[in-house]
Amino acid sequence: MIVVTGAAGFIGSYITGKLNREGFKDIVLVDKFNEPSKKRNYEGKTYRALIDRDEFFTWLAQHEKFVQFIIHLGACSDTTGQGPEIYRQLNFEYSKKIWKACVKYGLPLIYASSAATYGDGSKGFDDDHRLLPGFEPLNLYARSKHDFDKWALNQPEKPYFWAGLKFFNVYGPNEYHKGRMTSVVLQAFYKIRETGEMRLFRSNRPDIADGKQSRDFVYVEDVARVIRFFMDNRKNPGIYNVGTGINRTFLDLAKAVFKSMGKTENIHFTDMPADLAGKYQYYTCANIGKLRSAGYRHEFYTLEEGIDEYIKSFLNTSSCY
């Protein structure tokens, strides 16, 4: 039995779908299942049970002998507009309880961290554990993820295998419910379909031109492949970057969306919202040397390949994975 938390969300529902396609049916989905906007993400999946996240630890105490793996992807992922207590409870305290349960019951654990923990990037994007205390996250979401990473590394008792995965900028099917926090790919698709144009943030830095802000954009299928790799290769526990190792600009992204939609490029710039000022990463790029050293050999989707598959196989048909 495999447990997936955050299973009604973006990455959680995608990995559930991937597990189903690979023949895994004995899966327990953990989340809050009272949001109709997320129902599409799990209603077509095969699973043993839906467990409310508030009831999960009671359920686990009764069924732990049947559980083989926990994939913990549940979190409050909104980077703006939430109070600190929400992040502390959902991203830090809940994750601590998951960790301690895995130690108690002898279960392997994969959990989601984030590239947001690296802050403005001035200290690099290296997943060497020795560097982790020096990073300075820019928002409460990133701080909660960073605090848990630090806590996990400092624990004298650890699951016999564990991997914390620092996801970079993930995009792909099943993210439709995320509102403002959807990927720029999805935002661009909707905007171009509705208006025929795309607006990108102007840069507030003189050394970076408008539209040249860049990210390590990673397609969700690549994220799922990394999770599957660690499920099958329970060696070298630790924290790992999950990105392509290549940064691409927002202009690159917008142009790729126009091309995949068969539309003429029409790109303009708008001022950055005030609530993002001082909390915005102008550059991210994963150092994936550690992941490669652990034995991961898959090539990653290029930005153009990922966007093309996302639009043509999912967005054009309003399909989930």
- Active centre residues (catalytic): 141, 178
In the 8-state DSSP scheme, what is residue 283? B
Q: Are 311 and 256 in contact (CB under 8 A)?
A: no
C-beta neighbour count of 106 within 10 angstroms: 11
* Burial of 210 per CB tally in 10 Å (0-12, 13-18, 19+): middle
Q: How far is CA 121 from CA 165, 215, 252, in A?
A: 18, 11, 20
Q: Are 131 and 166 in contact (CB under 8 A)?
A: no
What is the distance between the alpha carbons of residues 218 and 301, in angstroms, rounded to a whole number? 7
Nearest to 140 by CA among 171, 119, 122: 119
What SS3 state is found at 13?
A: helix
